[in-house]
Amino acid sequence: MESSEPRRHFFDLKIPLGSLLGFYGLLLLVYGLVGPRDIYQKSANLDVNAIWGVIMILISAAFLLSAFFERRNRSNS
Amino acid sequence: MQPVISMNFIDYMILGAYVLVTIVVGYALKKYMKTSEDFFLSGRSLPSWITSLAFLSANLGALEVIGMVANSAKYGILTVHFYWIGAIPAMIFLGLFMMPFYYSTKVRSVPEYLKHRYNEATRGLNALSFAIMTLLMSGISMYAMALLFELTLGWSLTSSILLSALVVLIYVFFGGLSSSIYNEVIQFFLIWLGLLPVVYIGLHAVGGFAGLVSRIPPSFMHAWQHMGSASDNPMGVDWLGVVLGLGFVLSFGYWTTDFLVVQRAMASENLSAARRTPLIASFPKMLVPIIVVVPGLLAVALLPQFKVVPGGPSPDYNSALILMFARYLPNGILGLAITGLLASFMSGMAGNVTAFNTVWTYDIYGSYIKPNMPDEHYLRMGKYATVFGVVFSIGTAYIVQSFPNLMDYMQLIFTFFNAPLFATFLLGMFWKRTTPWGGFWGLLLGIMAAATHYLMYQLHIVHYSSEMAANFYQAWWAWCTDFVMTIVISLFTKPKPESELVGLVYGLTPKAHSDERFFRRPAFWGILALVVMVVLNLLFW
């Protein structure tokens, strides 16, 4: 390889990205559960906020967990 | 006019959180910006998943999203040509054949490659035309966003322009290319997560995919069947125009020579990652029609104003996506969709600004105005260039207000600059006899051929069935002129000695030997992408 020193990465993008999506997920889920109901007439009576909130929380968890495990592996080795 | 969409506090919280995170990410990158390479090329240290998503997002600006939804409502599934034949072969070619020349020679920009391969004049011509093009594009992005937000949310034109300019300025100023790339990755997720709900709800409302097919004209569901002659399909283009103009010249010109996209691959951590960047990006690229073509088709099937009436008045197709939002998205998810659009406008603009400040600093300022200064000087110049790049973009945003159709206008700019440039690159990289002056005059004559063709079309000396067909053929003729003239002039002028071309030309460059496992090899990904593309085209034939 061209350089012997370990390459310097910038900070891990997965953390801010995962946090942002997690915040959105929670916000949508809570609003979907306790917010007004009549707005869902628009969306064919599907509570899309709650559904999409759950999906975004899962995506966010995937980012944050993978960032967490990568960091732990790096400090172990 | 009453705004079509009314956002509530939840929607604004979502929008605000995005703006906050982009600024924090940009600011947090500030401490890593020690040299000009950190600022302009992310220190060549980014992993390929990040560069791939940024590579793709650089071309998924909101202008494209809105324009392509409009095209789908107007032309149906023909729009996929912009995503499949009009992108994938070029991305594969870039990854497999061209990236080694860009990455291994350690050039810092596309014009810099032209300087090594040809001469100073060729570089100057390309640097100057590219700098102008990026500022125009960034102004177009900003104006399109401001116009959209004025109509839909009731924000004033000036406040949208100033808000987006300020946010982009802050994060590019601190974090350079890395900020821009990180924001493109965030944008990639937001645009998908923001647009998928409208696809989901729309398909639910129309009765699934079968319901959709039954409610749109049958010709809207075939990508190739009606391409035999230009008069048989709504686009007014025949298959030859699509394959040569779009699939070959415009697409290869854009994806392989436009520094805005190539810069993302150059930021990769090593050559193999740089080559994988466009190859990995080609897979999500093939899926983009799900979020742009399907909403367009749904608009035709569900919204009464887009019903196809032969001979009836033409609806405003550019509003198709927004009207779908307004009709089907409740507050909450609505804020997410609007944020996705805002994110892609801003990152489209940031991409142009970062490409501009790099080319300005390395290829114009550092070459002609003040060469041989210490690195800190150029790092500082890059930051100043960001400021005046944004200021100029604001200026162009007000200038482009007088242009009627922004999408066609963008394609037109590409036919002038990217289409001939691709011939110059092709000959430069694969034919060692191409001479420096052959390259320069070929490029200049190619640009002039595009201008001549444009004039002839405007004066009605040549005719096409549509604006789009004119653009495709203009690209083709500009490319041909450059290709032929470069060869002819090369045969009469002196070539560079072979010793100066090592690493720059195919055949004089040692083959990179790879012992990586097959799933990391570029060739594996290239072939897989090609197979998937062919299958998709057959499915929607």
Q: Which residues of B touch A27 (CB under 8 A)?
A: 10, 13-14, 332
CB-nearest partner of B333 from A7, A9, A52: A52
pLDDT of residue B407: 66
Nearest-neighbour CA in chain A from B504: distance (Å): 19
Four-point Cα dihedral B107, B108, B114, B116, nearest 10: -40
Beta carbons of A48 and B46 less than 8 Å apart? no
Per-residue pLDDT band for B515 (boundaries 50, 70, 90) equals low
Confidence band, pLDDT 50/70/90 cuts, at residue B229: low
Could you say which of B28, B189, B201 has the minimum Cβ distance to residue A11?
Answer: B28
Which of these, B478, B471, B467, B343, lies nearest to B421 by C-alpha position?
Answer: B478
The number of residues making up chain B comes to 541
Check A24 against B14: CB less than 8 A apart: yes
Euclidean distance between CA atoms B114 and B109, whole angstroms? 9
For A9-20, the pLDDT digits (tens) are: 567 888 999 999
CB contact under 8 A, A43 and B328: yes
Q: Is B269 on the interface with A (CB under 8 A)?
A: yes
Contact with chain A for residue B535, Cβ under 8 A? no
Q: How confident is the model at residue B538 (pLDDT cuts 50, 70, 90)?
A: confident
Amino acid at B490: S
Chain-chain contact of A42 with B330 (C-beta, under 8 angstroms): yes
Q: Average pLDDT in the B485-504 region?
A: 88
Residue whose entry in the numeric block shows the structure tokens 């197709």: B317
* Mutation choice for B interface testing from A8, A24, A41 by most B CBs within 10 A: A24
Helices (H), B118-258: 120-153, 157-206, 208-214, 239-240, 251-257
Q: What gap in Å lies between CA A63 and CA A51, rounded to an integer?
A: 19
Nearest CB among B45, B327, B333 relative to A49 is that of B333
Q: Which residues of B touch A2 (CB under 8 A)?
A: 270
- Averaged pLDDT, B361-373: 86
Chain B residues with beta carbon closer than 8 angstroms to that of A16: 21, 24-25, 186
The top-level CATH class assigned to B9-407 is mainly alpha
Measure the CA dihedral B86/B89/B91/B96, to 10°.
-170
Mean pLDDT of B278-290: 89
Q: ipTM of the predicted structure?
A: 0.88
The DSSP letter of residue B314 is P
Domain extent listing, chain B:
9-407
pLDDT computed for residue B419 by the predictor: 87
B279 has a pLDDT exceeding 80:
yes
Residue B228 has pLDDT above 80, yes or no: no
Cβ-based contacts of B186 with chain A (< 8 Å): 13, 16-17, 20
Tokens of B535: 């299958």
**Which residue in A2, A11, A21 is closest to B189 by CB distance?**
A21
Chain B residues closer than 8 Å to A24 by CB: 14, 17, 193, 336
Beta carbons of B352 and B135 less than 8 angstroms apart? yes
Going by the DSSP 8-state scheme, the letter that residue B46 receives in this structure is B
* Helices B436-458, B467-492: inter-axial angle, 10-degree rounding: 150
Closest partner residue to B336 (CB to CB) among A16, A24, A59 is A24
- Specify the pLDDT at position A6: 40
Partner residue opposite A40 with nearest CB, options B24, B200, B330: B330
> Alpha helix (H) ranges present in B359-513?
375-399, 406-430, 436-458, 467-492
Q: Tens of pLDDT along B43-92?
A: 788 888 888 898 888 878 777 888 888 888 888 877 888 888 888 888 89
Angle between helices B271-287 and B522-539 (to 10 degrees): 10
Is the pLDDT at A55 greater than 90, yes or no?
A: yes
Q: Do B189 and A17 touch (CB under 8 A)?
A: yes
Calculate mean pLDDT across residues B358-386: 87
Average pLDDT in chain B: 85
pLDDT score of A1 more than 50: no
- Tens-digit pLDDT profile for residues B137-187: 888 888 888 888 887 788 888 888 888 899 989 988 888 888 888 888 999
- B404: distance to nearest CA of chain A, Å? 33
Give the span between the Cα atoms of A52 and A60, in whole angstroms. Answer: 12
| Record: contact B329-A1, CB cut-off 8 A | no
Distance (Å, whole) CA B375 – CA B280:
33
Q: Which range among A5-9, B132-136, B299-303, B411-415 shows the weakest confidence by mean pLDDT?
A: A5-9
Least confident range from B219-228, B413-422, B518-527: namely B219-228
Tens digits of residue pLDDT in B203-215: 888 888 888 788 8
Predicted pLDDT of residue A3: 40
pLDDT (mean) for B92-104? 87
pLDDT (mean) for B332-339: 92
- Residue B104 at interface with chain A, using a CB cutoff of 8 Å: no
- pLDDT category of residue B488 using cuts at 50, 70 and 90: very high
Measured CA to CA, the distance from residue B413 to residue B396 in angstroms comes to: 14
Closest CA to B141 of B344, B417, B288: B344
CB pairs under 8 A between A and B: 95
| pLDDT at residue B136, as a whole number | 85
Model confidence at A5: pLDDT above 50: no
Residues B333, A48 contacting (CB under 8 angstroms): yes
Q: How far is A58 from chain B (nearest CA, A)?
A: 13
Confidence at residue B335, expressed as pLDDT on a 0 to 100 scale: 92
In this predicted model, what pLDDT tens digit does every residue of B307-326 receive, in sequence order?
766 666 777 777 888 888 88
Is the CB of residue B219 less than 8 Å from the CB of residue B234?
Answer: yes
